[in-house]
Structure 1
C-alpha cells in the first residue's frame, strides 16, 4: 500500500523543536513534505500575504528522507503555496505544530498554528493542529509523541467530519501524569489586555501588549478544564462562522 502524503507546517518557524518533533512522528506514518515559515509567525492568525512577494526555498538535499521548504510568508501562505505550487497531488493529511504554547479557548482565533490547519481544511484536506502548553523553546515533547501518533493514525483511519479540523492541546506533564484524552468544547475565556506604555530614547511613545488570561467558564467539558486536570484536549473546529442559532431572531427584524 502507498504511504499517505502528509504536509507538515507550523507558525514557530521550520527550525522550532516542536515541528522537528512532529516531522519525526509523521515520517513513521507517511511520506512527509514540510513547508514552514522561515521566521516565527506566532499570533498571525489567518493572515495572508497580498502586498509583498512570497519566496520559497528548498532546504533538504535530494534523496533526503523528508522534503523541506521554507516560505517567507504566514502559516496560511505556507499551506496555500504548498498545495498550488509544490505538491503534485493533494495531501492526505495536514499537520500543523507542535506549537510552543497552548492554543486552547480563544487562542484558536489568533493562532497561526490553527490557521494553517484551517486553511488546509478549507481545501478539503483532513487537518490537525497540535500545541503543547509550554512556551519554552526547550519544551519537552517526548511525553506526548505516542499520543500525537495515535491521534494522527485515527484521523487517517476514520477520517474527519466534513469541514471540521482538530485542535489538539497537550498539558505540560510527564507521560505518566497524563490521564488520557478528552473530546471537548472551546472554553468561553479571553485575555484581559493591558498595554505597557513606554518612551523611547528619542522621546516617542510606544507600547508592549500584555495581559492576563481569564477563564470564567466553569464547565467540565471544556479544553481549559481538560488541560488543567491532566488531560489532552481535542476540540473539533469548524470554519463556517455563521451563528446559525441567531438567524431566526434576526429574521424577526423589520428589514
Structure 2
C-alpha cells in the first residue's frame, strides 16, 4: 500500500478539459491520484445534485493511464459524492477541483461548479481546494499555475484546514515572472448586473440569453479582486455554514411569540 497521500481530482469543465489535465499532472507529483469528473461541461451548476434521473460512472483511460479515472454523468457535487461512497476504498487526504477556465472570485463562488465540488468534499471532512485561472479560453496556458498550485496543495496536506473551511484559489492570467506572490484574502463585495437579451424564435416564441456586467463594489485592499488586479494569486477561506451569526442577537429581539 502506498504511503503517498490519496488525492481526489475533479472539476466542472469536464474530464477532458485542459485545466483538469494540468491539475492531474501537478497532483501526480504529490500523491496517488484518482479522478472522478463530469463527462461534459457543468459550469455554473452551483451545488446542484442529481435526484430525478439516473447517474452513470464509467472507468476510462486518458493520457498514459497511470492514474484511475472515472467519467460521471452528473454534476461536480455528484462526482465527489460518488467518489467518496462508491469509487474510493478510503477517504482521500485531499480533494482538488479545477483548474477552472475562468474566474471564481468574489460572488462567482456562489454559482461555481468548481467550488461546489470542493465544498462537497469539505462537507465530507476532506481538506479541499478549488483552483481557477482568470482565462476563459479553452486553450489557456496553465503552465504558470503549476508551482503555485503545488505550493498551496502541499501546505494544505501538511497543515490541514479548519473544520468546515475549504480554499478558493484564483490565479491571475499573467506570465509567471509577473505574478507577485500569494495573498490570503477575503471575498470582495461584488455582484453581476444582469441583462437579458430577448429574442424570438421562428415559431414566434420569446426566449432569452443571460448577459451582464460584473460590478465590484468593494474598494478594500484585502480582497480577492484587489489581489488579482494587482498581480497576486488570491486565496480565500470559504465556509459552507451559511449562518449569519452576527444577525442572531438582533433577530432574538423581534416579537416572534
Shorter chain as denominator, the TM-score bin is over 0.9
TM-score normalised by the chain length of structure 2: 0.98
Give the match for residue 111 of structure 2: 110
Distance 2:139 2:40 in 1: 17
Give the match for residue 226 of structure 1: 227
Distance 1:250 1:52 in 2: 40
Distance 2:252 2:237 in 1: 29
Distance 1:216 1:72 in 2: 38
- Deviation digits for residues 172-208 of structure 1, max 9, x if unmatched? 0000000000000000000000000001111111000
Shift of 1:155: 0.5
Q: How big is the alpha-carbon RMSD for the aligned residues of Structure 1 and Structure 2?
A: 1.0
Alignment of 1:197-208 (within 5 A): 197-208=198-209
Give the match for residue 171 of structure 1: 172
Shift of 1:60: 2.3
Alignment of 1:137-216 (within 5 A): 137-216=138-217
Secondary structure at the residue paired with 1:235? strand
Distance 1:86 1:243 in 2: 35
Give the match for residue 8 of structure 2: 7
Give the match for residue 31 of structure 1: 32
Give the match for residue 133 of structure 2: 132
Q: Could you list the runs of 4 or more consecutive aligned residues of structure 1 that deviate by over 3 angstroms after TM superposition?
A: none
Give the match for residue 60 of structure 2: 59
Shift of 1:144: 1.3
Distance 1:207 1:64 in 2: 42
Distance 2:21 2:250 in 1: 48
Aligned residues: 254
5+ long unaligned stretches in structure 1: none
Distance 1:205 1:252 in 2: 47
5+ long unaligned stretches in structure 2: none
1:73 is the counterpart of 2:44: no
- Deviation digits for residues 113-165 of structure 1, max 9, x if unmatched? 00000000000000000000000001110111111001000000111111100
Distance 2:121 2:113 in 1: 12
- Deviation digits for residues 48-94 of structure 1, max 9, x if unmatched? 00000000000028x93110000000000000000000000000000
Shift of 1:2: 0.3
Shift of 1:249: 0.2
Secondary structure at the residue paired with 2:212? strand
Distance 1:241 1:43 in 2: 19
Distance 1:216 1:8 in 2: 34
